[in-house]
Structure 1
């Protein structure tokens, strides 16, 4: 069958079977000035079509002679409600050697497969089309409704709105907060973006600095001074982070805690919170600034690992919408920041102390000041030949921090860390990247001091490696190195 012809270049059409579906298509094509031939076995229907000045004649589309009648047509739409007749028509056209572009109507998945096997280029199922249309209408209506509700909460703010990101926020959380701030600003409501913890990883610091995002440390303000509180991207929080009512909650994952906000939008079927906020930007019809567009696109790309993790059509559609408004030079700078000397030291230590079992690499980076360097080291080590999973851990004061990355589709690294350390530490993350924090005293039973640093490191290294490799289903060796 031919695939070289495109619908845009086609000019002659044949419709075989002209019931309600075929008639609707015929009218649309006629309005566009297309040359349409209609064949249907119902004489009364054919006469009615002729009364509308349409080119129609009566014949059973099962007949082999029909394939000769449509031999000069570029596109053949076989739209009878009789699937057996449709299959016969497709078969006759292909057996005759016709290479026209064929669109055929099915009634269910089985008949759809049969029609495709017979040579139909495109198979449609009206019930599926109607269902898809209904779902799109429902989604549009729901978004309109939620947009109105979000507007009510924002507009009801007497003083200022505060938008609290996730602790030590990632790009998705920061970008979502930036977008919500833009929505509030468009409605003449002043909003601050607050964060707990640190903006640690170099890419995240570059993201904030290069885009000029104004973030306020929660330590510097009293959150009760704000009239309205919004939380974005807080699903991983396991303990209450505020002791006041939450007014707005938006996330792409189900939260661990119950917030009971006045407005809530949680969509587990979408990969990033930035995608959700992009939809609201569109629905509010806000003029996108370069800063907001660049932030949102980076948030989506970071959360989906550049569209390689859990990406949905909604994420791709949002990214396509944002793309023309983005400062791509800035985006490139954000994605390729310089490496700090400490990060380089951590990476060197992780390379030196690595242990590889199969395609799994575990390494100890010793004592570090910047725990965020562990995530960067784990990501860099994932580029080593033959490696599909990495885990880098280190001691910072009285806590063991571990960052893991995986590109093994058979492994959920978040679940691995939960299985290995969930009973003694706090694990969080996804199937491809995760972290865990373990109180050092619980893990070793020894308090940290300058005198026992080496002992602590040795005990930690042995225990962490063993637990990790056990959770991964591989056996750890007694020595380090690859």
Structure 2
């Protein structure tokens, strides 16, 4: 095959077989000032091409003499509808030592493989190209239709819109809500981003503070005061805290399938809700503020672990669009926040109480106030040598909170938590990142009091470890503290 040739250096082209596909390619190349030579065995077609001032000559592309005809060409496009003739042309060129860049037309996967084996650099199948083009047109049309519907629902708002995110929201939730608020603002509709729980993770706090994203606590508002209610990236937080939902945008399917919405866009084939909102920003042709661009880019990066987890082409193209508009100095500050004393205490406790079976680590962080610290502890412990899966649990407010991380491609940690605790709690997450909440009383069967908290912690620790190791399919009999 050809080597050392760049597209910039390709100045002379040969088209072998000039039916409808070849003709379209020839016209496009000529319009770009390229030097194109056409060979086709149909004399009438050649005459017609000459009438269009194209350099066309009669030749059977199967003949070995064609190799001499294209000797001075850098690129040879073999585009006949006769796949056998195309194969013969590729073979002749390569057998004669031709170092051309060859693009050949196939009719199906089998002929594509044959042409590649013969030496074609690029193989195209017009049917596949047309199908892909049709799908892209369909996606574009669908997005345009959905964007119009979203705008109509927002426009129906008389006074104010509520944008609800899941409990203790993460960057993807916050960024998506900020983008939807920008869309509403562009249509002269005021909106509040409403959250429950806490913004506990220090990166999340830095994210909100540095980008100046205003959030309103659920305790401070009455949802019934809002004309329009939107749920954005909410599924991870369980069932919605309101019966009225006008707008629903998420990259997770919701457990309830009977939600009555006026607008809904759920795409489980995309890894971040920020990606979905970026597409709407583009489709509605909004002027993207630096703050929202930075938020959306960070939301995508956080949700995909910097494009290392379940990243889709849509996530990458959205990130590429956002990149020039984002404030990268702010991103660096968000990604390097100071660690709170409590987070450090939780991490220290998790390190001290760790037990390891093979490459799997489980640890108990005791009683905590900041449950977001568990996720950070699980992530930090994943950096220990020889560890591929971590799970850190603790007790807060009569609830067992557990965060898990995994880089073991054989394990889906979200499924592990669901198998272990799905009947008594609610597990959410990905194959590499998951969490579960379990009411403490349900788990132990003992009513929680101040006097028995330590006893419950011990019982919980034993039961959680066993269930986790069993669900992971590893032998916990040889456990150690990893030292």
Once the two structures are TM-superposed, the CA of residue 480 in structure 1 deviates from its matched residue by 4.4
TM-score of the two chains, using structure 2 as the length reference:
0.97
Match of 1:316 in 2: 316
1:96 matched residue in structure 2? 96
Residue 417 in structure 1 maps to residue 417 in structure 2:
yes
CA-based RMSD of the aligned residues comes to 1.3
User: What's 2:187 paired with?
Assistant: 187
Cross-structure match for 2:241: 241
Conserved 8 A contact 1:160-1:189: yes
Residue of structure 1 in register with 2:253 after alignment = 254
Q: Give runs of aligned pairs for residues 136-285 of structure 1, distance below 5 A.
A: 136-243=136-243, 245-257=244-256, 258-285=258-285
Q: State the aligned residue count.
A: 481
Gaps of 5+ in 1: none
SS of structure 2 residue aligned to 1:236: helix
Contact 1:275 1:314 in 2 (8 A): yes
CA distance in 2, matches of 1:37, 1:477: 74
Aligned to 2:235, what secondary structure does the other structure show? coil
Match of 1:457 in 2: 457
Per-residue CA deviation, residues 213-262 of structure 1 (Å, 9 max, x unaligned), is: 0000011011111111111012234434103x211111112211232211
Residue 378 of structure 1: CA displacement? 0.1
Runs of at least 4 residues of structure 1 off by over 6 A? none
Q: What SS does the aligned partner of 1:253 have? A: coil
Please say if residues 398 and 448 of structure 1, whose CA atoms lie closer than 8 Å, have aligned partners that are also in contact: yes
Q: 1:150 to 1:342 in 2, by over 3 A?
A: same
The answer (yes or no) to whether the contact 1:183–1:281 under 8 Å persists in 2 is: yes
Q: Quick check: 1:237–1:256 contact (8 Å CA) kept in 2?
A: no
Aligned mates of 1:227, 1:458 — CA distance in 2:
49
Deviation at 1:124, TM superposition (A): 0.7
Partner of 1:379: 379
- Corresponding residue SS for 2:248: strand
State whether residues 234 and 240 of structure 2, in contact with CA within 8 Å, keep that contact through their aligned partners in structure 1: no
Task: Identify the residue that residue 30 of structure 2 maps to in structure 1.
Answer: 30
Partner residue, 1:79: 79
The answer to whether structure 1 residue 115 and structure 2 residue 115 are counterparts is: yes
Give the match for residue 290 of structure 1.
290
TM-score, normalisation: structure 1: 0.97
| Alpha-carbon distance between aligned partners in 2 of 1:302 and 1:479, rounded to the nearest angstrom | 32
Q: CA deviation at 1:445?
A: 2.4
Report the Cα distance in structure 2 between the residues aligned to 1:375 and 1:336, rounded to whole angstroms. Answer: 16
Asked if 2 retains the 8 angstrom alpha-carbon contact of 1:397 and 1:448, the reply is no
Deviations 1:306-342 (A, max 9, x none): 1111111111010000001101011111111111111
Contact 1:353-1:480 at 8 Å conserved across structures: no
Residues 369-424 of structure 1: CA distance to partner in whole angstroms, max 9, x if unpaired?
21111110000001111111000011123111111001111111011001001111
Gaps of 5+ in 2: none
Q: How do 1:301-380 residues align onto structure 2 when only pairs under 5 Å count?
A: 301-380=301-380
Structure 1 window deviating more from structure 2 (43-52 vs 283-292): it is 43-52
Query: Cα gap change, 1:395/1:423 in structure 2, threshold over 3 Å: closer, same or farther?
Result: same
**Deviation at residue 2 of structure 1 after TM alignment:** 2.1
